[in-house]
Chains A and B, each alone.
Chain A
Amino acid sequence: MTKITYVEHNGKEHTIDVQNGLTVMEGAVQNDIPGIDADCGGSMACATCHVYVKNDWYDKLDEKSEGEDDMIDQAYEPKKNSRLSCQITVSDKTEGLIVYLPEKQV
């Protein structure tokens, strides 16, 4: 289990124990964190699990998947630290990861 913190747009924080091997998106969906839609179910075919990664975490994560930036182009208000949470796999390396949720997904 690895602690991941999801911060809603209104500032509300949720720190959840997520099983290693799941994605940050799955951790949110399975724990009913509001603000992550994940319409396509994790096939990187939409951009509705979009998150902003806390700045010092951005470079520590594995590189973006091929095509991930193409989908982020189509996200709601993409920024430099934007990621699709379905492409971040939870592991010991992500202990304490903090992600911020955008105002909305669609």
Chain B
Amino acid sequence: MIKTDALIIGAGPTGLFTAHQLKIIGLDCQIVDNLDKIGGQCIELYPDKPIYDIPAIPECTGEELTQNLIKQLEPFKIKFHLNERVDEVKKDSNNWEVKTSNGTKFNTPNVIIAGGVGSFEPRKFTLKECEQFENKSIFYSIKNKKIFEGKIVTIFGGGDSALDWAVELSKTSKVNLIHRRDEFRGANATVGKVHELAKSGKINLFTKYQLSGIKGSSNLESVKITHENNEVKTIKTDYILGFFGLIMQLGPIAHWGLNLDKKTIEVDTEKFETNQKGIYAVGDICTYPGKLKLILSGFHEGALAARACFKLARPNEKYRFEFTTSSKTIKNRLGVKSD
């Protein structure tokens, strides 16, 4: 059980700056994120796209913004729990008990949800029958590639994950690669490699086809694919892999007893607290009259939520507002020399 003054859910720009604000006022915090890297939407959706409305930064990319925020947090040695999704938030006397998908447990008076549009999850096949084979014969990510050795693997998708795995698995398995159109969106070199392997018969390539059915009882036996022009093919297969990118889902947050408005959480504008004391929501995931979904709004919301956390984390102390330019205490926390 990890005890902390505040737990932040989401390592996007808002979560990162909220951590900065908590540390500046002397509280400790840890951050959980379901992605395998820091940066949230900025890094997952638009790492190379320019942003023009961060105050005092005329132009930067999602990746640059993330790097700068990480740099700003460096003095504080924040503990990140990546690849973990917060599944449970339960009241425990005065604190919140939080459990992640990996079983990590936290006990904290403050939970700050900086979850953007929810957690990133792989997009799955829409065919209902696929569910019963999930994690047995149908996978959306690969943990152990050994299970595919000598088997027939049918891969769906046209991006880097689909192509990289098609190339890799073609060394030890019989690979079918199926994509809804002729063009692939993967790196040029990998696309070239796939076409080469298709030519030499190491990969069976089917384009303009999509999944339309599966057959099997305890094990998967075959997959049915349908061409744009409605022609149907049945292919024998042992495994199916689907790589259709990530989608964002509110996920377990919907079950924590918070007042929701569509996919957002209602908060007040003084503390950015939800209807549950000690649970705050900041950034894109919160809503209130006049809410703007801008990164700069997330920064403001995080700064205020951090001050609200102080009261619950240090009930016997009085919070004193200080400027970073003049406060010796803050400079000590930042590890910089005071004049």
Contacts and interface: CB of A to CB of B under 8 A. Distances in A.
B148 interface: no
Contact of B245 (A41, A43, A73): A73
| Interface size range of chain A in the complex | 10 to 19
Contacts of B244: 73-74
B199 interface: no
A92 interface: no
Contacts of B126: 76-77
A45 B46 contact: yes
A80 B49 contact: no
A28 interface: no
B123 interface: yes
Given A69-B181, A76-B123, A106-B247, A43 B158 contact: no
Contact of B183 (A40, A48, A69, A74): A69
Nearest to A77: B126
A39 B46 contact: no
B45 interface: yes
Interface SS of chain A? loop
Interface string B152-178: 000001110000000000000000000
A46 B247 CA distance: 8
Interface in A34-58: 37, 39-41, 43, 45-48
| Interface size range of chain B in the complex | 20 to 34
B157 A39 contact: no
B41 A40 contact: yes
Nearest to A76: B126
A69 B245 CA distance: 13
Given A69-B183, A70-B159, A106-B248, A43 B46 contact: yes
Contact of A39 (B49, B117, B185): B117
Given A43-B49, A106-B248, A73 B228 contact: no
A74 B49 contact: no
Interface in B40-72: 41, 45-46, 49
B195 interface: no
21 contacts: A37-B263, A39-B117, A39-B248, A40-B45, A41-B293, A43-B49, A45-B46, A46-B45, A46-B247, A70-B185, A73-B158, A73-B159, A73-B180, A73-B244, A74-B123, A74-B244, A76-B123, A78-B180, A78-B210, A80-B228, A106-B249
Interface of B: 41, 45-46, 49, 117, 123, 126, 157-159, 179-181, 183, 185, 210, 228, 244-249, 263, 293
Interface of A: 37, 39-41, 43, 45-48, 69-70, 73-74, 76-78, 80, 106
Given A41-B293, A69-B181, A70-B159, 14 more contacts: A40-B46, A43-B45, A43-B49, A46-B248, A47-B245, A73-B157, A73-B179, A73-B244, A73-B245, A74-B246, A74-B247, A78-B210, A106-B247, A106-B248
Q: 10 nearest interchain CB pairs? A: A74-B245, A45-B45, A70-B185, A106-B247, A39-B117, A45-B46, A73-B158, A74-B244, A77-B126, A80-B228
